[in-house]
Amino acid sequence: MTYRRRHSPLHAARAVVGAVWCLALVTVAVTVHHPVVLGALLVSVLAAGTAALVARPVVLGLAVGVPFAVVIVAFNAVLSHNGLTVIFRFGGPWDVTLEAVVAGAMYGLTAIALCCAAALYSAAVDPDDLLRAFRRLSFSSALTAALATRMVPVLARDARRLSDAQRCRAGAPPARVALLRAVAANAMDRALDVAATLEVRGYGTAGRAPALKRPWSRHDLAFAASAVALFALAVVCRGLAPFAMYPRLSMGLDGGVLAACGLIAAAVLAPFADRRGV
């Protein structure tokens, strides 16, 4: 998953605003403990991915999140001893309850939402623009992060090349340890080359970057407003009709919950309505 500039409002917004907006999505995902609201958030993030023309990476994030969710459900079902509705009886503390499964599914849903938000961030927020913003605080840390992002596709290509070369060797396939050592040695060579390049681009003399004065665009303002709304909703949603998992399942589904779903969807998707100047 690498950033590529596309003609969408999220790509048009400045990177700091885009990053804060994604952080707001994450905040809502971790503070809301109601499955319907979480579901609404997840659907909104997927829709935002489509509106930002990065549906594929966001769906990939979903695909990465689902196995995590399955593992969380399985662990919670086995390890949680709470809940009264036993659905699988293995004896004593190993009994699996419906409540533990549902609670695991809730945490899993949160994990999926987080993966999708992270995927949306990496596909739609310009890391270089972000680097420029953060280098005023800590240049070397920001550059290290940017380089790590840049090196991922390079090393992936190297790994593919090495793997092809090993398939071309005559005789038995090589041991995995030997292969791993070759990949590591190759990565070290690459790192040295990049370090030399940084030197000759004047990295060693880099001082505090000058402030970049850029007027706030309509998209900057829209996503900033959306982020503020999402942070506020994260706080408000904590007081929603309760969803209890233990000892028995009970879910309040009143007008407040439905309103929260609608407001979250509106807050997430509203900035995408205006596509002028993308």
Partner 1 sequence: MTVLSLDRVTYAYAGATVPALRDVTLAVEPGEFVVLAGGTGSGKSTLLRAACGLVPHFHGGTFSGRTLVGGLDTREHGPARIAGVAGTLFQEPETQVVLGTVRAELAFPLENAGLGPAAVARGVEEAGLALGIAHLLDRSTSELSGGELQRVALGASLATRPALVLLDEPTSQLDPVAGDELLGVLRRLNEEWGTAVVLAEHRLERCLSAADRVVAIRDGAVACDAAPQDFLTWAAAQAPDLQTPGARLFSLAGLAPLPVAVKDARAALRKRGLDGSGAPEPVAPAPPPRSHGRVAAAAPAPRRRGRDAALELKHLWLEPRGAEPRLRGASLTVAAGEIVALMGRNGAGKSTLLRVAAGLDKPTRGKVRATGRVALLLQTPGDYFLHDTVAAELDGAALERAGLAHLADRHPRDLSGGERQRLALAVVMGGEAPAALLLDEPTRGMDQPRKAALAGELCCLGGEGVAVVLATHDAELAVAVAARTVLLGKGDVVADAPTADVLGGGWYFATQTARILAGAALDPAAGAALLRDRLDLAVKEALT
Number of residues that bind partner 1 (CB under 8 A): 55
Determine the Cα–Cα distance for residues 183 and 158; give it in Å rounded to an integer: 8
Q: Is 166 in the site for partner 1 (CB under 8 A)?
A: yes
Tokens of 256: 């407040």
Quote the DSSP letter at residue 215.
P
If binding is defined by CB under 8 A, does position 220 make contact with partner 1? no
212 interacts with partner 1 by CB under 8 A = yes
Judged by CB under 8 A, the stretch of 68-76, 82-90, 101-109, 199-207 that binds partner 1 is 199-207
Asked if the bond preceding 247 is cis, omega within 30° of 0, the reply is yes
Q: Does 127 bind partner 1 (CB under 8 A)?
A: yes
CA distances from residue 160 to 53, 107, 188, 249, 273 in whole angstroms, order as listed? 28, 35, 17, 49, 41
**Contact pick of 25, 129, 240, 267 for partner 1 (by CB under 8 A):** 129
- Two tokens, residue 173: 């396939």
Q: Which of 179, 221, 236, 265 is close enough to bind partner 1 by CB under 8 A? A: 179
141 binds partner 1 (CB under 8 A): no
Q: Is 145 in the site for partner 1 (CB under 8 A)?
A: no
- Considering the complex, state which of residue 151 and residue 228 has its C-beta at the smaller distance from partner 1: 151
- Binding of partner 1 at residue 178 (CB under 8 A)? yes
Which amino acid, 257?
V
User: Cα torsion at 222, 228, 230, 231 (round to 10°)?
Assistant: 160
Q: Which is nearer to partner 1, 84 or 195 (CB)?
A: 195
Within 125-254, residue ranges assigned H as helices are: 127-134, 139-168, 176-200, 218-236
**What torsion do the CA atoms of 218, 223, 228, 232 make, to the nearest 10 degrees?**
130
Q: What is the smallest separation between the CB atom of 167 and partner 1, expressed in angstroms?
A: 6
Q: Does 132 bind partner 1 (CB under 8 A)?
A: yes
Instruction: Give me the residues that bind partner 1 (CB under 8 A), please.
Output: 2-5, 126-129, 131-132, 146-147, 149-150, 153-154, 157, 161-162, 164-171, 174, 178-179, 181-182, 185-186, 190, 193-207, 209-213
